[in-house]
Amino acid sequence: MDGLTQAIATTRDADPAPCRLISVAPMMAWTDRHERAFLRHISRHVMLYTEMITTGAVIHGDRLRHLGHDPLEHPLALQLGGADPAELAECVRIATDYGYDEVNFNVGCPSDRVRSGRFGACLMLDPPHVARCVKAMSAASQLPVTVKSRIGVDNCDSYAEMLTFVTAVADAGCQTLIVHARKALLSGLSPKENREIPPLRYEFVHRLKEDFPFLEIIINGGMRSLDQAAEQLQHVDGVMFGREAYQNPYMLAEIDRRFFGEQERTPTREEIIERFLPYVSSQLELGVPLAHITRHILGLFNGRPGARAWRRFLSNYARKPGAGVRVIEEAVAGTGDRTFVPAATAVG
């Protein structure tokens, strides 16, 4: 049995969902509820994550706006940003009430806003405190509590320091660690630069799996293809895609067949849109502007003839007053494939 086959078999034999074999990363301003609903119409099995939501927003803000989601989004994890153990624990209890399948603790975000709040990647410099947070979160609910980190911060980027960090969170009850295989630089780089400039060190994450075989180790950072994911699954338990899944979402269409053994043929882009239209209609009826949804589907035809026309049409017309699903139908027709049949529930 090769490594990939064994990884899939092990996942199936384990406890029920959530399955993190393939997942899509939490991305600020991108992985909102409409993006997640769209991705779920492409893959039934990929694990989805919310944008990072701060503990203050969960406890004191509009909970329905921050935490509300469509049942079709599952399996779904809530990612939290914070640093106070009691507040994080309270958020886990709230997440349980909202039906999430997992709570993920962000200790990898290097943005200025996060750093000024003394959470995110800077927490990796204090493993005992992260451990206290994880312990409080784990005690608050039966939900799995996972941690998303970098491989280091600034000059604290040795493997020995990472061992100290992982040991601390594992001893506190964390069984799943999602590791972005770059270190974070807290000064001098923007969040975008922090996703691109520090070199990827996949071997660092592979070594963690070797040293912590009892932990579920998910690798993140620079993932561009399903072939790359298959290669990584020879070394780790799961692969998390980031911006590639957003900018080229159709890459996810093969996941269910290739990694989860589904027998149905891969849906076409047009079929994905047809399936998605009833969701769009339901959101329009709730008063959601069409452009808030269509901004997430602009990359669906990337690499295909008509992709530019698709993006241009949606960008121009989805913002117009009264724009409805007919805008999406006409955008599909403009890609050059006239085989698309509008959903019966389409209006507008």
Which residues form the catalytic set? 109
Q: Which residues pair with 216 in a beta bridge?
A: 176
Helix (H, G, I), strand (E, B) or coil at 180: strand
221 touches 243 (CB < 8 A): no
**Residue 291 CB neighbour total at 10 angstroms:** 15
Give residue for tokens 């070394």.
235
Which tokens hold the place of 120? 């995110």
- Cβ-contact 345, 281 below 8 angstroms: yes
Per-position DSSP letters for 212-269, written without gaps between them? -TTSEEEEESS---HHHHHHHTTTSSEEEE-HHHHHSGGGGGGHHHHHH---SPPPPH
Determine the Cα–Cα distance for residues 86 and 284; give it in Å rounded to an integer.
38
